[in-house]
Each structure stands twice: as structure tokens, then as C-alpha cells.
């Protein structure tokens, strides 16, 4: 395996400070570089004009600025979802998605190249595991789109037909709101809790007050349900949101969809979720991809309502997105409505997520799909 050189984004602030101290640089340089990276979002050493040339040259040799190279750029036909395929120096590949809404710009980032969890209905799982990403590689994905948004000018640079939303999209892009990342979700490729240390480092890096200073409450981490890590995360006392991919409310069904359920079945997963909610007073989300005649039955809805009873939570329903390796179909509108009625009757808060970017395989669980298809 290629040994990767540490990139500048991989350094914590104190690591940068000590590297610079070791080179005999003045103490203020670390802060200056940090600002170039995370406040001014420089994308090259040349852009860091307040640094002396010899220092820039030395940095470039010792710490490459970043590792991500955008290779393919897809825009959905409605113009609201964009996906980038990045390659990394060891030929690993990841995908990152930007979803624009009327009042939000959400970046969906990958925590791993591939995924080892093997969920049957997920393209990433179907493709297997390549490697963990470093914190720098995760943060870089966010900064890429932050730069893109800040660069976009009144929507004029945008390609793609936004259909009937065209006018509102233009108005929106003329407002300042449109030019910032407003939400970050760790729901791209991979299982964030299987890359725990880098994840925590990422979360600190993103919300660092002298750096990117992104509000923790606008970050969401999604896990397949690695119970020891949920317990550990509970102790971190972060303001970050937690989403748990539930998808089934009985062990047999859940294990057939999510192999991890054999290791951490519902009787230990749900108490860990309850402990999280009561210790943090934060509302947790349950993700549920609705699959026709698999997990959209009245029995599953009732079992879900039972599990969720008295738990500070919200159920995010999403019609299954198609993947090549899984034959199931999305639930019909009628079945979704019936499922929701049962949850509503039991006072379980729930919402139906609108599918996004399906035409460019940018929907939940579809990342890496285009490559698999091409292979």
C-alpha cells in the first residue's frame, strides 16, 4: 500500500505549530497559515501571499496542501445536486455530494473509501472497503464545496436546467445565503464510526473557532449502529447530531439487510440510543429506507413505533434508491402513507425525505455506483 505523505490538512493546529517551531519560524506563522487554510480557503501555496516564498516552498515539499483531485463532476438534470468523484494519491476514490435547497446548502461527505459493513441495499457496501480517510481528506471535501459556493456568482456560472424552479433558483443564488455551506452530513461513502479517531478530529477541525468555525449543530453523523462507538460518542459532549440507520425494527429482518445487526442487535442498539438521547438531551434521527414489501409493512411500522416510544427521536423515511446489486424497489406512495399513518397514530415524529440526484447516482446509498457499473 502506498505510504501517503501527511498533507497540511492532516495537521492539528498544535502539530503545525511544533513543525514550524522546529524550522525556526516565528510563532505567528502557524495562525497565519491556519487562516489561509480554513478562513480564506486558499487552494494553493502560491495563494498564501503573506508567507515568505522560502516558507511556502518548504511547506510544499514537506506537506502537500491537499490530497483530493476532482476527476468527474456531475450535475443533476434539475441543477440542484452536484457530485464530484475525487481521486487520492494511492488511487483510492471517493465521492462527495452538494445538495442545494431554497435556504440550505448541504454537503454530504465520505468518511471512508468504500465500506466494510456490507448492507445489502447500499452501493457503497456492495463495492467493498478500500481504506479509511484521514481527517484532512474528510475536511477537504467540505472545503472544496465551500470554495465552489463562494465562487459561484448569482447562479450565472451554473449549468443545468432547474426546470420550474429556475426563477427561484436565480433569486436564491443572488442572495448571500447561497454562497456558504450551511449543513454538513457524514452520510457519504463509508461508516464514520468505523473511522472514529479521524471522525472526531474532523468534527473538531470543522468547528474550530480560529479556523472554519462551522456550527456543530449543523453537522450530522450517520452510523449503521456500532454500539460501542455510539456509547463513546455520547461521552464526547459534542453538539453534533446523530443519525442511526435502523431500516428494520425486528432482528431477523434487520440482520438480513444490515449484517452488523448480528453483532449489535436491537436489544443493545436501542438502549444505546436511549442512553445517548437522555445523556445529551439531543434528538436522534432514525433512518429508514422504505423498500416495497420488505420493511414497509404495518408490522414493521408498529414494531418501529414500539422501539421509538418515549425516545427523543425523529424517523427519516426515504424511498429506497436503486442500486445495481439489490433487487428491491422503493415503496409505493400508498404504502408509504399507510406506514406513516401508523407512526403518526403512535405520535412518532417522522418525515419523508425527498429523493435527490438519482439521475447522477448521488442519492443515499448510491455513491460509487457509477464506477461499479462501469467496471
Of the residues 191, 229, 264, 363, which one makes contact with ligand SF4 according to CB under 6 A: 191
Q: Of 38 and 233, which has the nearer Cβ to ligand SAH?
A: 233
Residue 296 CB partners (closer than 8 Å, separation 6+) = 290, 331, 335, 336, 339
Q: Of 33 and 318, which has the nearer Cβ to ligand SAH?
A: 318
Q: Minimal distance in Å, beta carbon 224 to ligand SF4?
A: 4
Q: Which of 115, 273, 313, 364 is catalytic?
A: 364
Q: Of 226 and 305, which has the nearer Cβ to ligand SF4?
A: 226
Q: Of 119 and 169, which has the nearer Cβ to ligand SF4?
A: 119
Cell of 269: 442498539
Q: Which of 95, 137, 140, 191 is catalytic?
A: 95
Work out whether 224 is an interface residue with ligand SAH (CB under 6 A). yes
Q: Of 17 and 245, which has the nearer Cβ to ligand SAH?
A: 245
Work out whether 227 is an interface residue with ligand SF4 (CB under 6 A). no
Segment near ligand SAH (CB under 6 A), from 42-50, 82-90, 204-212, 221-229? 221-229
Of the residues 85, 117, 240, 330, which one makes contact with ligand SF4 according to CB under 6 A: 117
Of the CA atoms within 13 Å of residue 122, those in its CB half-sphere come to 27
Work out whether 105 is an interface residue with ligand SF4 (CB under 6 A). no
Of the residues 190, 211, 328, 363, which one makes contact with ligand SF4 according to CB under 6 A: 190
Work out whether 287 is an interface residue with ligand SAH (CB under 6 A). yes
Cell of 78: 434539475
**Which single residue is written with the C-alpha cell 424517523?**
315
Angle (CA) 96 262 131, round 5°: 30
| 95 has catalytic annotation | yes
Work out whether 94 is an interface residue with ligand SF4 (CB under 6 A). no
Segment near ligand SF4 (CB under 6 A), from 51-59, 119-127, 200-208, 333-341? 119-127
Binding region for ligand SAH (CB under 6 A): 121-122, 187, 191, 222-224, 245, 287, 289, 318, 320-321, 323, 364-365
Active site residues: 95, 364
Amino acid at each position: 500500500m502506498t505510504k501517503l505523505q501527511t498533507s497540511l490538512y492532516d495537521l492539528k493546529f498544535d502539530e503545525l505549530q511544533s513543525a514550524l517551531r522546529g524550522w525556526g519560524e516565528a510563532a505567528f506563522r502557524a495562525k497565519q497559515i491556519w487562516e489561509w487554510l480554513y478562513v480564506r480557503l486558499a487552494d494553493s501555496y502560491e495563494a498564501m501571499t503573506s508567507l515568505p516564498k522560502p516558507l511556502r516552498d518548504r511547506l510544499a515539499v514537506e506537506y502537500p496542501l491537499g490530497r483530493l483531485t476532482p476527476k468527474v463532476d456531475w450535475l443533476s438534470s434539475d441543477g440542484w445536486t452536484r457530485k464530484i468523484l475525487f481521486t487520492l494519491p494511492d488511487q483510492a476514490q471517493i465521492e462527495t455530494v452538494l445538495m442545494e435547497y431554497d435556504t440550505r446548502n448541504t454537503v454530504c461527505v465520505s468518511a471512508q473509501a468504500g465500506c466494510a459493513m456490507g448492507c445489502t441495499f447500499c452501493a457503497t457496501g456492495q463495492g467493498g472497503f478500500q481504506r479509511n480517510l484521514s481527517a484532512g481528506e474528510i475536511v477537504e471535501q467540505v472545503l472544496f464545496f465551500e470554495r465552489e459556493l463562494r465562487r459561484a456568482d448569482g447562479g450565472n456560472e451554473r449549468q443545468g436546467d432547474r426546470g420550474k424552479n429556475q426563477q427561484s433558483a436565480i433569486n436564491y443564488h443572488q442572495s448571500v445565503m447561497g454562497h456558504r455551506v450551511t449543513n454538513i452530513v457524514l452520510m457519504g461513502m463509508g461508516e464514520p464510526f468505523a473511522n472514529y479517531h479521524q471522525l472526531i478530529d474532523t468534527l473538531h477541525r470543522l468547528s474550530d473557532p480560529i479556523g472554519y468555525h462551522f456550527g456543530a449543530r449543523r453537522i450530522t453523523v450517520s452510523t449503521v449502529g456500532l454500539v460501542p462507538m455510539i456509547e463513546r460518542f455520547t461521552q464526547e459532549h459534542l453538539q453534533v447530531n446523530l443519525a442511526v440507520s435502523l431500516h428494520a425494527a425486528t432482528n431477523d429482518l434487520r440482520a438480513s439487510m444490515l449484517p452488523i445487526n448480528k453483532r449489535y442487535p436491537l436489544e443493545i442498539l436501542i438502549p444505546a440510543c436511549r442512553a445517548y438521547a437522555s445523556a445529551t438531551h439531543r434528538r436522534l434521527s432514525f433512518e429508514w429506507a422504505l423498500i416495497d414489501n420488505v420493511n414497509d409493512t404495518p408490522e414493521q411500522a408498529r414494531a418501529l413505533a414500539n422501539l421509538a416510544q418515549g425516545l427523543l427521536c425523529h424517523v427519516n423515511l426515504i424511498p429506497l434508491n436503486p442500486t445495481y446489486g439489490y433487487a428491491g424497489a422503493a415503496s409505493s406512495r400508498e404504502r408509504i402513507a399507510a406506514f406513516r399513518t401508523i407512526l403518526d397514530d403512535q405520535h412518532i415524529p417522522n418525515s419523508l425525505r425527498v429523493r435527490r440526484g438519482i439521475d447522477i447516482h448521488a442519492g443515499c446509498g448510491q455513491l460509487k455506483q457509477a464506477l461499479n457499473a462501469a467496471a
